[in-house]
Structures are given as structure tokens and as C-alpha cells.
Structure 1
Amino acid sequence: MITNELYGLLQCPTCHSRALYVLDDGVHCASCATVYPLREGYLDLMPRGMHYDYVSKYVTDETELAEELDYRELAPPLLAAGVRDRALRRLLRFRPTDIVLDNGCGTAKHAVWNADQVHLMVGSDPATLFADRAVAEVALAQADSRSLPFAEGTFDKAFAIDILEHFPLEVIDAYLAETARVLRPGGRMLAFSNTREMSPIQPIINLSRRLGRLFVRAGLYDFSREARRKSDHIKALETWEDVVAAFERAGLRPVKVVFWNSLFTTFVEHVVMKLGEAVLGRTAKKPSQPPPQAAKDPSADPYLASLATQTTPEGTAREIRARQRVRSHLRPGSPVYRALMVITLVMELDLWLFGWMRCGSYFIVVEKPR
């Protein structure tokens, strides 16, 4: 969604000028003559003529990942994503007057889920795997976080969910410095990420992982999609001291931290959810004589559409089928929705009961000094 208000936040990401004007073909910079095209539902605001050593796999492999991520349709904020979103709202305390940046938004699901809480929600990402609702409801920019296309002091709040673990240290520093630049004095940022530190209750948490591995060996499910999603995790911030030091280098002062010791979460993700996916993701038996329409249109069944090509591993295809089938029953108030909300609240107990206990996964709120 491109709005006039978004235009008012911009600066040229190539030369940093604010001398911009808008024509039918896009945003023009009067200083360096760069044209930033208008795309379908977002602005292409990538810096021109810049070379970066690090490029995210979500940019280099965007076409390949588009099918695997099943990103176009959003479910409600439930399970682990729901825990993250509830913590985001609770810790960042959105206000109706806030202008907020989801920096590295991915599908922009958290931006969509919170757009009605603020005055303007902006999503920024170098990849364009934006959900359909995000394109319709959020001001979106294709942009690189090392050279954000926004003026200094533009945003009241910003957040980064599952971002920092992907970056090498020099990119983290650039990302945080740019985020700090576009925050107003007194503005706050929330980040959720993880270090390499183990939880004090890790041996108990690992019981669920071992149970999950037994089911994997039995052939009931696998973690291929999860492994693919995490394959580029670098975790350059290896300890909590590294995290605090990185934010302080960017001039951001830590004000609140909650750790996520995933005792209940691991059991849900490694056992409950995966067993559910194994059942719900089973392929329907093919009839001995398929109807003529099905023979002509192999994607007629929306639940089996992901099997139309052979590029998706079976474990991933099964997980996508399960998610699509559950999603069709996720109307607020439906039995499936209520059951998943109860599971979400159980997972959230990890924050309430163990959030004081230092471990790898963390929510941190930082503030830009006035």
C-alpha cells in the first residue's frame, strides 16, 4: 500500500537527499537523478550503485523460496508467531499516534497484525515476499537496511523480529545504526533474536527434542522446512554481552529484556505441531478414475496445489498442506482457533515463568536518547 504519507518520510537511499518528487513512474531524486519505481503495492527504494559483500538468501533465492514459504496468505497470530506478537505489543506499547517501522519485515505479518494499533505502519525488506494483506494494508518499501530510504528521526518505534541472527557483525552494526538514525529522540525499538547461549533448563527442554527425533526416525515427519529456514543463521552475537554491546555501539540504550526459555514451546513445536502436521498433511488417495476436470486442472484442489511441481520436498509439501487445511478453519471463535489460542497461551508461559532466566532467545527493548 503506497500512501501520500509514506512519501513524506522518504530520503534518497543512494545520495541521502530529501529533494524527491513523485511522478507516475515513481519517486525521482532531484539531486542524483535516480528513479525509484512504483511496483504493485510497494515502492522499489533499493540504493543504486552500491555493492555489499553480504546479501540475504531471501534476496538471492527469492524465487525458489516463494513456493516453500507459502507466504501470500496470513493466518492469525497464533503459536510461536502469536507469542512473539503478543510480546511485541506488550513491550513496545503501541499508541494511536505512532509511526512505526518493521525493519526487515519479511511477509510483513507482524506489521499487518499491528497496523490497526498505530497511525502508520511501514514495512521494509530487500526481498519482496510480502503477504497479500500486507500489500493492501501496510506501507511497504523494498529497501536495504544498511541504507534506509527514510529521513532522520522519522519513526516513533521500530521492531526487528527474527532478523539479527541472520547477519554478520558488520551488517548488524550497520542495521542498528540506520535504525537508530531513523528513530526520533526518545523513540524505542524492540528486537527478537537469539544468541548461542544455552538455557539453564536446557536438559529438560532437550527431552522434547529427543522425542521429536524418535518420531523423525519413525518417518512420521521431518524438519526439512525448519532447517531450510534456519540454514543461514550466523548468530554473530554469540552472548548476551555481545547483544548489549551492539545496541550500545548504535547509541541505543537497553531498557527491558525478556528471555524465552522454550520449555513448553519446544514440546509444542517438536511434538504436538509436527504430529498434527503429519496427520493433516497426508495426501488424499487418488481416485481410480479421476473426473475429467481434475485431469485437466491438476491444481483444482487448493490443498494439493503445492504438489503441482516436484521442486518442493515431500516433508515441506506435507507441512504446507497441513497449514493450508488448518488455515481454512481459523475463523476467530471457531473450535480450531480456540484450541490453537490455548496452545499459544501455554507457550507464552515460557516468558511469564522463565523470562528472567538468561538464555539464547531474547526480546530486548532499547531507546534512543533524547
Structure 2
Amino acid sequence: MINQRIFSLLQCPTCRVRPLVVEANGVRCPRCQTLYPFCDGYIDLMPRGAEFDYVSKYVSDEEQLAAELDYRELAPPLLAAGVRDRTLRRLMRWQKNDIVLDNGCGTAKHAVWNAKYVGLMVGSDPATLFADEAVRTVTLAKADSRLLPFADNSFDKVFAIDILEHFPLPVIDAYLAETARVLRPGGRMLAFSNTRERSPIQPLIDVSRFLGRLFVKAGVYDFEREKLRKSDHIKALETWEDVLAAFERAGLRPVKVIFWNSLFTTFVEHVLMKLGEAVIGRNRGRSASESVPTRVSAGAAREIRARQRMRSRLRKKGPVYYALLAVTLLMELDLWLFGWMRCGSYFILVEKPRS
């Protein structure tokens, strides 16, 4: 869905001119005459002729990842994604007239889950691995965050979930500088990412990791899909001081920080959830609605089947949904109990100064 309100926010990512001219099949720059076409539910606003040293794996290997990541259908915001989403809503304090950018939206799941709370939700990503529901309900742009196709001071709020750990330092600086440019004075950005720092309670967290490794050795499950998803993590911001320095260079002032010391979360993700997937995803009597790629490992196929089967149950919001919601709240205890203890994973809320 392309909401017409986005047209007034656009500028040419190639030559930085605005406004763009809306035509039947796209938007055109009046200076360089570049046509940015309307595609299947999004606008292709990639800069033309730009060459970048860094290209995301999600762009270079988009076709392979599209087949393996099972991204098109969304589940409700539960488990780790639910904790991220609940924290996003709590810290951003959405207003009905907010114009919001999900900068590096991926499937745009967080944009979908929060669109009803704001005036206009825009998702932007250079890869078009957008969920079907996002295409139907969110205004989407194929765009590069180093040259955003939006005018200065366009957005009240911006968020970035699981983004910064993918980038080398020059790209992080360009990403944050562009985010600051399109954010209105007094506007706020929330980022969730992680550094290389260990938690003060890491020995306790590692107990769950050890149990998970035992189950992997026993062949009960594996972490192949998780390795694929994290295979391009760079973590150029290695320490918390690096994080603060990057936001300072972009002119963004920290407002609030919550660290995620994942004591309960690691047990859920490395043991409880994986055991559930191993049981639910067994290759038995597949339904017609299930679609598992043929080129993935047995463990990845089992995980995909489990997630597809669980999504069909979660839509009904019955006992399974509320059981997973209870587990989500257990995981969120990591933030409430240990959020003050510095560790690698963090939520940071920052503000663009008014002057």
C-alpha cells in the first residue's frame, strides 16, 4: 500500500531535488528526470549511479535469502520479537499524528505491528523481503539508508531494530547522519542492537547455551537458520563507548538506555523454543499450506515447518497464543530486572536537539 501522504516527504536520492512529480507509474525528479517506479506494493527509490563499498548480504543474496528465511507471513509479536516490540511502543510513546520511519525495516514486521498507533508508517530497506501484510498495510520504499529519499525534517520518529550490528563504521556514520537529517528537531529515534561486551551475569546465561549445545550434539535441533540470519554481523561498535560516540557524531542526544541481559531469554531461545520446534516441526503429514524450501538443512526445514504450523494456531489467539505471551513476559523480565546492567544488547532512545 502506497499512502499518498508520502509524496510530500520525498526528495530525489540521486540529485537531492524536491518535490518529485507524481506520474501514473512512479515519481519523477524534475531535475535529473529519473523515474522511480511504483512496484508491487512499494516505490523503488534507490539512488541511480551511486557506488558503495559495502553492500548488505540481504541485498547481494536476496534471492537465496528469500527462499530460506520464510519471511512473507507474519506471526503475532511474541517471544524475542514481542519483547522488542513492546519496548519499542513503551519508549516511543506513539501519537496518532506521528509520521514514523522504520529505517532498515527488513520484513517490516515492526512497522506492521505499530502502524495502527500512528498517522503514517513508512518502511525503508534496500532489500525487498517485505512480508505480504506489510505490502498491504504499510507504505514501503526500496531505499538505501546512506542516501535516504526523504526531505530534511520529515519524520517525527524513527526506529532501527537489529540494524547497526550489520554495518561497518563508515556505513553506521552515514546511516545515523541521514537518520538525523530526516528527523524533525525534537524528534526521537530508538535503536536496538548489540556490541561485543559480555553481560555481568554471563556465566548464568551460558548455562542455557551449554544445554543448547548438548541438544545440538544429540541431533535434537540445530541453529543453522540463526547462523544464516547473523552471518553478516560485524559489530563495528564494539563497546558502549563506541555506541555513544557514533550517536554523538550524528548530533543525536541519548535520552534513555535499557540493556538486555538475556538470562531468561537465552533459556527460551536456546532450549525451550528449540525443543518445541523440534517436536512441532517433525516431518509428518504436511498440509497443503506448508511450503519448505528444498535446499535447506533438515534442521532448518524442521524449524520452518514448526513456525508455519504455529502461525496457523496463533491466529486464533487460543491457549497456545496466551502460553507464548506468558513466555514473552518472562523474557521481558530480563529488561525490568537487569536493564540497568551494562552488556552487549541495548535499546537506546535518542533525540535530535531543537537548536
Among residues 342, 350, 355, which one is paired with 1:366 in the alignment?
350
CA contact (8 A) 1:237 1:243 kept: yes
Count of residues in correspondence between the two structures: 354
* Residue of structure 2 equivalent to 1:292: none
- The CA deviation at 1:314 is 1.4
Partner Cα distance (1:127, 1:23) in 2: 24
CA contact (8 A) 1:97 1:118 kept: yes
* Residue of structure 2 equivalent to 1:214: 214
Instruction: Find the residue that maps to 2:313 and give its secondary structure.
Output: coil
* Residue of structure 1 equivalent to 2:292: 306
* Residue of structure 2 equivalent to 1:296: none
Partner Cα distance (2:124, 2:234) in 1: 21
Partner Cα distance (1:138, 1:368) in 2: 25
TM-score normalised to structure 2 length:
0.98
Pair 300,332 (structure 1): closer, same or farther in 2 beyond 3 Å? closer
- The CA deviation at 1:331 is 2.8
Partner Cα distance (1:96, 1:265) in 2: 32
TM-score normalised to structure 1 length:
0.94
Instruction: Find the residue that maps to 2:348 and give its secondary structure.
Output: strand
Instruction: Find the residue that maps to 2:306 and give its secondary structure.
Output: helix
Instruction: Find the residue that maps to 1:190 and give its secondary structure.
Output: strand
* Residue of structure 1 equivalent to 2:321: 337
- The CA deviation at 1:333 is 3.5
* Residue of structure 2 equivalent to 1:278: 278
* Residue of structure 2 equivalent to 1:90: 90
CA contact (8 A) 1:332 1:338 kept: no
Partner Cα distance (2:23, 2:269) in 1: 48
Mapping 1:224-239, distance limit 5 Å: 224-239=224-239
* Residue of structure 1 equivalent to 2:181: 181
Partner Cα distance (2:271, 2:225) in 1: 15
- The CA deviation at 1:300 is 6.4
Mapping 1:156-305, distance limit 5 Å: 156-284=156-284, 301-303=288-290, 305=291
Partner Cα distance (1:133, 1:151) in 2: 27
Query: What are the Cα deviations for residues 264-323 of structure 1, in whole angstroms up to 9, with x where unaligned?
Result: 0000000000000100111016xxxxxxxxxxxxx96223x215x3x1111111100000
Query: What is the alpha-carbon root mean square deviation over aligned residues?
Result: 1.0
Instruction: Find the residue that maps to 1:329 and give its secondary structure.
Output: helix
Partner Cα distance (2:277, 2:126) in 1: 31
- The CA deviation at 1:332 is 5.4
Query: What are the Cα deviations for residues 45-94 of structure 1, in whole angstroms up to 9, with x where unaligned?
Result: 00000000100000011110012111111000000000000000001111
Residue type of the alignment partner of 1:301: A
* Residue of structure 2 equivalent to 1:294: none
Partner Cα distance (1:40, 1:63) in 2: 16
Partner Cα distance (1:82, 1:16) in 2: 37
Partner Cα distance (2:209, 2:230) in 1: 16
* Residue of structure 1 equivalent to 2:56: 56
Mapped pair 1:350 → 2:351: no
* Residue of structure 2 equivalent to 1:75: 75
Q: Which runs of 5+ in 2 are unaligned?
A: none
CA contact (8 A) 1:19 1:31 kept: no
Greater Cα offset, 1-10 or 266-275: 1-10
Q: Which runs of 5+ in 1 are unaligned?
A: 286-298
Mapped pair 1:32 → 2:18: no
CA contact (8 A) 2:79 2:325 kept: yes
Larger-Rg structure: 1
Structure 1 runs of 4+ with >2 Å offset = 299-303
Query: What are the Cα deviations for residues 127-186 of structure 1, in whole angstroms up to 9, with x where unaligned?
Result: 000011100110100000000000000000000000000000000000000000000000
* Residue of structure 2 equivalent to 1:101: 101
Residue type of the alignment partner of 2:24: D
CA contact (8 A) 2:10 2:19 kept: no
Partner Cα distance (2:181, 2:19) in 1: 19
